[in-house]
Amino acid sequence: MLDMLVEGEKSVGALAKPFSVSLPAVSQHLRVLKAGGLVTERRVGRERCYRLNPWPLRDVVDWTRHFELFWPSRLERLGEHLAKKR
């Protein structure tokens, strides 16, 4: 469901469509995500629309990205260090 929300704001109906679960079940799931601060809710006419709030996830993403670059460069330096000692 979060995958869909990455694309942009979606109504409850649109979010429920690909899943074989009831609308109330989807609403319940969205309420949990909302309580956790991961989505924000907006009323559009009779529908509720949800938007992903990615900021709580930022720290994890930034750190893993950081180390995905950091460690390979350090392993390369380790190789250079070992070569000097040979």
Cβ(13)–Cβ(47) below 8 Å: yes
Please give the single-letter amino acid code of residue 13.
G
Give 69's contacts (C-beta < 8 A, 6+ positions apart). none
- Considering the complex, state which of residue 46 and residue 73 has its C-beta at the smaller distance from another protein: 73
Q: What is residue 53's three-state secondary structure?
A: coil
User: DSSP code of 56?
Assistant: G
Q: Which residues bind another protein (CB under 8 A)?
A: 1-3, 6, 32-33, 36, 38, 52, 54, 56-61, 63-65, 67-68, 71-72, 74-82, 85-86
We find the least distance from the C-beta atom of residue 48 to another protein, in angstroms, to be 18
We find the least distance from the C-beta atom of residue 84 to another protein, in angstroms, to be 9
- Considering the complex, state which of residue 43 and residue 68 has its C-beta at the smaller distance from another protein: 68
